[in-house]
Amino acid sequence: MGLTIKEIVLISLLSYVYSLDRHSTQIAGKITILYGALAGLILGNFKQGLEIGATLQLMSLGVANLGGASMPDYPMAAIISSTIAITSGKGMAAGMAIGLPVGMLGMNFDVLVKLINSAIAKRAQNFAHKRQFGKMTRTIPLATLIYPLESTIPVFIAIVFGKSVVQAILDFMPQWFTVGLNVAGGMLPAVGFAMLLVYMPLEKYGYWLIVGFVATAYLKIPVLGVALLGAAAAIHLYQSIANKKVSNQVSENNSNLTEEDMEDE
Amino acid sequence: MNNIKKLTKKDILKTAFRHFLGVTTFNYDTGIAPTIVWELFPVLRKIYSNDDDLVLSLDNHFRYYNCNPWLSPLITGATLAMEEKDGVKSIEAVQNLKTGLMGPLSGIGDTIIWVMLPTIFGAIAGSMGKNGNPLGMWLFLAVFLVCFFLRPYLYFVGYQTGTNLLSKLGQKLDAFTDAVSVLGIMVIGSIVSSTVNVQTGWTFQTGGVKISLQSILDQICPSLLPAILVFVLYYMLKKKVKMATLILAVIVLAMVGAVIGLFKA
């Protein structure tokens, strides 16, 4: 394909900036159309890039990335689709034929990046324990720098090697591997929640877990609704503990008084 | 215990900007905890002159926390006020408040930022862009840019709310800690059902009728498999199994499950 080295670098850089912003400053993470248009601008065909981005933007409506779940990466697909469409001259369909599968592939790499982040987090905490706070604060942003590679690497491979290589990689990866990564992505949040529970006073208040679970699993109440119920329970508990303390103090004071009174008598 | 070193406006603003590390640090052990540690470190250093106390506080913030980064400042702003006033005595309350509020605020934030705004402005930008008009795209970008510049101020809102809350609570921090732990536990019960995704792909043949095991499980109890997974992991963590081991075990389980068709994506 007729891409100059300068164009390859700029497009790769665009995908890096996209992913960096999407996960940190979060200004344009959902503006798929912008990335189609910017890729078009780099390659000298703003209008076609804009139209491809617009098409993918409309496809992505309503698809959100929530609670750490993995979702297709539409802006990444837009960058690749625009690039392929413009440089191959074969139009939107040819571009999206590569852009969309790679966008789907990107969501699987998400799981891998989050595993690398685990190692970085652990390292940072070890530095904290050793009182090496400078090293700790320098270690954490490594995650920020590494994270965008999940977009840059697939985009680079897709625009440099094109459809044949992408197809070969997709064919080479057995289906169970991609399904497995997906399943793992659904299961792994459980580890974090289990860890949270370890720190909560479950012996004392564990039964509220059932209330929260039933509310969402059976009654389909969204988390905000459950939190409002939880707030009601919390207010009730707070008042009863606070009142108990007050009445204990009052009764202590009373008994002190009576003892003193008796002594006086 | 009351600190002489008051946090200044500049400190809060600096923390708000450091929060832009966002979800780049997301990992399955601790969510975006590394981001929180990184953003809070300078102010925590100011609050805790003693290294041991600082490490206690940092270790607390290294625990699992995942919140929509747009609204997270409301929580960490408030907990910052708590730590500023009560130091290490407030750590349990800080942890409970973070756990209790992260789910509901994520629910609100994700809906507005990742679903509502992109759906409305994405539809406008997409339909205009398809006809080669970039105006909708610039509007989309402008809306998010405005939101971006307003975001740091949420930190002040959180901090002020936290300060007001504390002056009301007075000596009743223990009761408050217990009360918010109930809220947190209920929220975890809810998000286990809504966020963890485990589904079995197995089916049975009975009298020529295909019945999926998942539909039977759903009739017994929706989200049964996620609940079982979280409890098994919780039990293992209580037995002092390392988190890295559990993450690896979950991935192996997901892969093996995908190969034999036990789990589906």
Q: Are residues A135 and A28 in the same domain?
A: yes
**Cα–Cα distance between A68 and A193 in angstroms, integer?**
13
**Cα–Cα distance between B106 and A53 in angstroms, integer?**
28
Q: Are residues A191 and A86 in the same domain?
A: yes
Chain A with chain B: Cβ pairs closer than 8 A: 405
Burial, A123: exposed, middle or buried (Cβ in 10 Å; 0-12, 13-18, 19+)?
middle
Q: Are residues A153 and A26 in the same domain?
A: yes
Q: Are residues A208 and A259 in the same domain?
A: yes
pLDDT in tens, B95-107: 999 998 888 888 7
The reported pLDDT for the residue numbered A68 is 42
Q: Are residues A101 and A182 in the same domain?
A: yes
The reported pLDDT for the residue numbered B165 is 80
Last residue of a domain, one of A151, A174, A196: A196
Write the CA distances from B125 to A50, A58, A208, B120, integer angstroms. Answer: 10, 9, 45, 9
The reported pLDDT for the residue numbered A67 is 43
The reported pLDDT for the residue numbered A262 is 46
Nearest to A34 by CA among B120, B126, B113: B126
Structural Rg of chain A based on CA atoms: 28
Last residue of a domain, one of A143, A175, A196: A196
Q: Are residues A181 and A216 in the same domain?
A: no
Q: Are residues A29 and A78 in the same domain?
A: yes
Whether the per-residue pLDDT at B142 is higher than 60: the answer is yes
Q: Are residues A177 and A146 in the same domain?
A: yes
Nearest to B66 by CA among B250, B248, B235, B194: B194
Q: Considering only alpha carbons, which residue of chain A is nearest residue B35?
A: A140
Chain A residues near residue B71 by CB distance under 8 angstroms: none
Q: Which domain holds residue A215?
A: 204-264
Q: Are residues A116 and A215 in the same domain?
A: no
How many other CB atoms sit within 10 Å of the CB of residue A112?
Answer: 12
- Is A187 in Cβ contact with B229 (below 8 Å)? yes
- Is B198 in Cβ contact with A183 (below 8 Å)? yes
Residues 6+ apart with CB under 8 A from A137: B38, B41
Q: Are residues A182 and A231 in the same domain?
A: no
Q: Are residues A56 and A108 in the same domain?
A: yes
Q: What part of A 168-197 touches B (C-beta under 8 Å)? A: 176-177, 179-197
Write the CA distances from A246 to A8, A256, B64, integer angstroms. Answer: 71, 15, 35
- Is B21 in Cβ contact with A192 (below 8 Å)? no
**Cα–Cα distance between A200 and B131 in angstroms, integer?**
55
**Cα–Cα distance between A18 and A31 in angstroms, integer?**
10
**Cα–Cα distance between B214 and A202 in angstroms, integer?**
29
- Is B227 in Cβ contact with A217 (below 8 Å)? yes
Q: pLDDT digit of tens for each residue in chain A (265 aa)?
A: 578 999 999 999 999 999 999 999 999 999 999 999 999 999 999 999 999 999 888 887 755 444 444 456 899 999 999 999 998 888 888 888 888 888 877 777 788 899 999 999 999 999 999 999 999 999 999 999 999 999 999 999 999 987 677 777 767 777 788 788 778 888 988 988 898 898 888 999 999 999 999 999 999 998 888 989 999 999 999 999 888 766 666 555 555 544 444 444 4
Contact B125, A57 (CB under 8 A): yes
The reported pLDDT for the residue numbered B177 is 83
Chain A residues near residue B169 by CB distance under 8 angstroms: none
The reported pLDDT for the residue numbered A61 is 74
pLDDT in tens, B144-184: 999 999 999 999 999 998 888 877 776 777 788 888 889 98
Please, what is the angle between helix A5-23 and helix A32-42, to 10°?
A: 160
Chain A residues near residue B31 by CB distance under 8 angstroms: 68, 192
**Cα–Cα distance between B109 and A66 in angstroms, integer?**
10
Domain count, chain A: 2
Phi-psi region at B211: left, alpha or beta (left = phi > 0; alpha = psi -120 to 50): beta
Chain B residues near residue A227 by CB distance under 8 angstroms: 100-101, 103-104, 107, 183, 186-187, 190
Chain A residues near residue B177 by CB distance under 8 angstroms: none
Q: What part of A 82-111 touches B (C-beta under 8 Å)? A: none
The DSSP code sequence of A205-261 is HTTHHHHHHHHHHTT---HHHHHHHHHHHHHHHHHHHHHHHHHHHHHHHHHHHHHHH
The DSSP code sequence of chain A is ----HHHHHHHHHHHHHHHHHHHTT-SSTT-HHHHHHHHHHHTT-HHHHHHHHHHHHHHHTT----TT-----HHHHHHHHHHHHHHHSSHHHHHHHHHHHHHHHHHHHHHHHHHHHHHHHHHHHHHHHTT-HHHHHHHHHHHHHHTTHHHHHHHHHHHHHHHHHHHHHHHHS-HHHHHHHHHHHHHTHHHHHHHHHHHS-HHHHTTHHHHHHHHHHTT---HHHHHHHHHHHHHHHHHHHHHHHHHHHHHHHHHHHHHHHHHH-
**Cα–Cα distance between A112 and B27 in angstroms, integer?**
10
- Is B31 in Cβ contact with A53 (below 8 Å)? no
pLDDT in tens, B173-212: 778 888 888 998 998 999 899 888 899 989 888 777 888 8
The reported pLDDT for the residue numbered A111 is 83
Question: Given pLDDT bands bounded at 50, 70 and 90, which one contains residue B80?
Answer: very high
Contact A124, A140 (CB under 8 A): yes
Q: Are residues A12 and A107 in the same domain?
A: yes
Last residue of a domain, one of A196, A221, A245: A196
